[in-house]
Amino acid sequence: MSIRTNENERFGSNLFHEKAMKQYISEGTLAVWRECVRTRTVLPEKIADDIADGMKRWALDKGATHYTHWFQPLNGETAEKHEGFLIPDGRDGFRMEFSRKELLQGEPDASSFPSGGLRSTFEARGYSAWDPTSYAFIKDKVLCIPTVFCTYSGEVLDKKTPLLRSGDALNRQAVRILRLLGDGQTESVTVNVGAEQEYFLIPKPLFQQREDLRLCGRTLFGADAPKKQELEDHYYGQIKPEITAFMQDLNEELWTLGICAKTEHNEVAPAQYEMAPFFSDANIANDQNQLTMEIMKRVADRHDLVCLLHEKPFAGVNGSGKHVNWSVGTDRGENLFSPGTTPADNTRFLLFLAAFIKGVDEYASLLRCSAAYAGNDQRLGGNEAPPAIISIFVGSELEAVIDSIIRDEPYVDQTDRFLTVGKDVLLQLSKDNTDRNRTSPVAFTGNKFEFRMPGSSQSIAMPVTYLNTILAQELKECADRLEGAEDRPQALRSLIREMLSEHRRILFNGNGYDQSWIAEAERRGLKNLRNTAETIPEFVNEKNVRLLTENGIYSLKEIESRNEIHLESYCGTTVIEARTLLEMIRKGIFGAVSAFLSSLGGDFYFEKELTKKAGSLGNDLLQAAEDLEEALAEYDAAADPEARLKIASEKLTARMAECRRIADLLEKIIDARFWPYPNYTQLMFTI
């Protein structure tokens, strides 16, 4: 099975894309379907019948035996419940059934998915409904139909619906703006997203020996390996054959699903890698990223490896992020964040840029929120990931343009051309200048923004939803102003200038890893929400709630439920880690210390010293474990969620850190024969 021998045929061969649809569905039906997707109207019954029938025949031809509605509940995973096509027909016969009803709607029991209180007030039943904007696909002989997921009374229980809603909101406002700028042709605007996925690969037998990796996805202790990433020899290094074999296998699987896996390379940390797909429409990019994560894990398993998607599997080396490359384009193929080829394009570019800058400044806490969870707390703010402070990098050239606009002076570029907003000369940005600041959470990279805060394990739905919504809101305010203006060109100029002047503070081209940035950001009044616990309350601040409800992203109830889930999931993760750590200390580390102590004789000075050292660290560890246990008991007894959040984020994390500190010291002196867990050298340097 090699895609290289027959690329075109294999690519997308498990995806019911337009080419496949054409073979199973009449052109007339497809035309109606396309129009319904474009205008977001309900499919006529007959059309849905025909599509269901065509989809079934395609799936059966591909060897599928089951179908499922495939959705994205609020736990960040994907969910599926398989139904066989086969049903009895008459006394001895059977037939394969899949009708319009099964295509359009499912009724999975919602009661065991996170609902943040929505469930207690409503029926347990949940509804899944076909999302015709994302193609169906086959995975393991199962026809998977991408769907949205909601409660009986319509409250949304998934991550896809808000994403779709935010795309609609942005489309409405962007088209409005384009009309005001004299563009009578663009009919719709879509968001393009390319999500770079970082991950670790480690040998499966070693993974299985560590409960922390199995239960929490990261090591909860582990002394530094003698070698980490100081030689910078892994990034872009030669890829080892075992890893190449994994990557080839992964690519082939992704390609059959129509996921255009494009870039692959070694990342900074030992055993760390990256895969970047070619960008696509945001909804599809989101579906594809969810699938990519799943398939990475499965392919790794076949290679006797384990793919770790956690943000920080190992302390002391880089963690994994998921850079979300994001841009907005028209149905005519124009990128609205590209400076373009005419001065009029430049004005449009500057308006979109200014609106985005303003939006990020206004709603920084919401963006921060979209990447705040326990796993990402291990990574953000370290010297490898963007700091927890939201700022935007635009590069020195664009910054100079912005400053000249703010000063109301023409901008003179290197070739002595002038740029005045809304008039004359062309702004052409040199690509190098906007490309390479790796320390910024939001970076302009030529014709798109790269949001670097999201972590490697998370769904990109929420970050993209908020980016879309923020821009939609700002464009709406711009359109309201421009529609009422008497002198529109003048109004446009002052609008751009005003937005840039008032929100200049969010631009930062310097080194985000530098400690001085924290003080500088504080001086500028930018928030430094250092961790999830500090961020959670910001989600429901008045401004964010207004933004999300007024743009139709969430209802108030949906906001409350998401807030509750956010909090519960943070606490849940932290508590599981605390319990796992305790168990490993009690069942594994204490025994190792004792065995080591018994193995030491007392005749030599070094033996006496080691006995003293290990014994005293063992005592310290006992005390630290008891303190952690006490905090866990306190957590269990706490009545309200806020109190639990406080205990989890302050006491549990601090006490886990203390346990870890001592365990790591012990690991360093105890004879490897007695240490019950694979160490960092084995985990990261075996392959």
Binding site for Mg ion (CB under 5 A): 196
Which of 173, 219, 283, 325 is the binder for ligand ADP (CB under 6 A)? 325
CB of 134 or CB of 190, closer to ligand ADP = 190
What is the 3-state composition of the chain as percent helix, strand, coil, each rounded to the nearest 5?
Answer: 50, 15, 35
Instruction: Kindly state the smallest distance separating residue 71's Cβ from Mg ion, in Å.
Output: 29
Structural Rg of the chain based on CA atoms: 27
- DSSP type of residue 677: S
Closer to ligand ADP at the Cβ: 318 or 561? Answer: 318
666-682 burial, b at 16+ Cβ within 10 Å, e below that, comes to bbeebeeebbebbbbee
Letter for the amino acid at 185? Answer: Q
- Binding partner at 327 among Mg ion, ligand ADP, none, C-beta below 5 to 8 Å by kind: ligand ADP
Q: CB-wise, 346 or 445, nearer to Mg ion? A: 445
Closest-by-Cβ residue to ligand ADP is 194
At closest approach, how far in Å is the CB of 274 from Mg ion?
5
By the rule CB under 6 A, 167 interacts with ligand ADP:
no
Distance from C-alpha of 315 to C-alpha of 320, rounded to nearest angstrom: 12
| Angstrom distance (rounded) from CA 669 to CA 557 | 54
Q: Quickly count: other Cβ atoms within 10 Å of residue 496's Cβ.
A: 23
| Tokens encoding 646 | 């406080």
Should residue 418 be labelled a site residue for ligand ADP when binding is judged by CB under 6 A?
Answer: no
Q: Considering the complex, what minimum distance in angstroms separates the CB of residue 193 from ligand ADP?
A: 6
Q: What values do phi and psi take at 643, rounded to 5?
A: -65, -40
**Across-strand partners of 272?**
200
The Cα 14–Cα 6 span in angstroms is: 14
Tokens of 165: 């809603």
Query: What does 279 bind: Mg ion, ligand ADP, none (CB cut-off 5 to 8 Å by kind)?
Result: ligand ADP
Site string for ligand ADP, 579-598 (x = CB under 6 A): --------------------
Pick the closest to residue 366 from 255, 501, 469 (CA basis).
469
| Nearer to ligand ADP (CB atom), residue 74 or residue 282 | 282
Q: Which is nearer to Mg ion, 194 or 340 (CB)?
A: 194
Shortest CB 452 distance to Mg ion, Å:
10
Residue 245 or 268: the one with the smaller Cβ distance to ligand ADP is: 268
Lookup: tokens for 256: 């059959």
Q: Using CB distances below 5 to 8 A depending on partner kind, what does residue 280 bind out of ligand ADP, Mg ion, none? A: none
Nearer residue to ligand ADP within complex by CB, 335 or 653? 335
Distance CA 311, CA 367 (A): 18
Q: What distances in angstroms separate CA 191 from CA 149, 367, 434, 579, 601, one per listed residue?
A: 22, 17, 20, 42, 69
Task: Check: CB of residue 201 under 8 Å from CB of residue 245.
Answer: no
Residue type, 326: W
**Which residue from 58, 279, 554, 677 is in contact with ligand ADP, where contact means CB under 6 A?**
279
DSSP annotation of 652: I
Q: Which CB atom, from 196 or from 377, has the smaller least distance to Mg ion? A: 196
User: Nearer to Mg ion by C-beta: 196 or 397?
Assistant: 196
Strands (DSSP E) contained in 56-210 are 66-70, 83-84, 86-89, 93-96, 105-106, 126-130, 137-139, 142-151, 189-203
- Let me know: does 249 contact 275? Beta carbons within 8 Å: no
Q: Write down how long the chain is.
A: 687
Scanning residues 425 to 464, which ones bind ligand ADP (CB under 6 A)?
Answer: 447-448
d(CA 316, CA 228): 8
Q: How far apart are CA 515 and CA 224, in angstroms?
A: 24
Burial class (CB in 10 A: 0-12, 13-18, 19+), 485: middle
What is the H or E stretch that residue 52 is in? helix 45-61
Q: Which is nearer to ligand ADP, 33 or 279 (CB)?
A: 279
From Mg ion, ligand ADP, none, interface partner of 325 (C-beta below 5 to 8 A by class): ligand ADP
Gap between the Cα atoms of 139 and 517, Å rounded: 47
Residue 532: name its binding partner from ligand ADP, Mg ion, none (Cβ under 5 to 8 Å by kind).
none
- What letter would DSSP give residue 303? T
Kindly identify the residues of this chain, within the stretch 182-201, that bind ligand ADP according to CB under 6 A. Answer: 192-194, 196
Chosen from Mg ion, ligand ADP, none, partner binding at 447 (C-beta under 5 to 8 Å by type) = ligand ADP
Q: Which of Mg ion, ligand ADP, none is residue 59 near (CB under 5 to 8 Å by kind)?
A: none
Shortest Cβ 265–ligand ADP spacing (Å):
8
35/2 Cα distance (integer angstroms): 37
Smallest distance, Mg ion to C-beta of residue 436, A: 12
Could you tell me whether strands 142-151 and 126-130 are parallel, antiparallel, or unpaired per DSSP bridges? Answer: antiparallel
Nearer to Mg ion, 196 or 399 (CB): 196
**Sole window of 311-319, 321-329, 465-473, 659-667 interacting with ligand ADP (rule: CB under 6 A):** 321-329
Residues 333-352 that bind ligand ADP (CB under 6 A): 335
Q: Report the residue number, 462 or 648, with the smaller CB distance to ligand ADP.
A: 462
Q: Which residues 239-268 are close enough to bind ligand ADP by CB under 6 A? A: 263
And the tokens for 556? 């108030």
Instruction: Choose one: 277-285, 305-313, 353-361, 607-615; the region binding ligand ADP (CB under 6 A).
Output: 277-285
Contact segment (CB under 6 A) with ligand ADP among 119-127, 273-281, 357-365, 396-404 equals: 273-281
Q: How far is the CB of 319 from ligand ADP (least distance, A)?
A: 16
Interface with ligand ADP includes 277 (CB under 6 A)? yes
Binding residues for ligand ADP, per CB under 6 A?
Answer: 192-194, 196, 263, 276-279, 323, 325-327, 335, 447-448
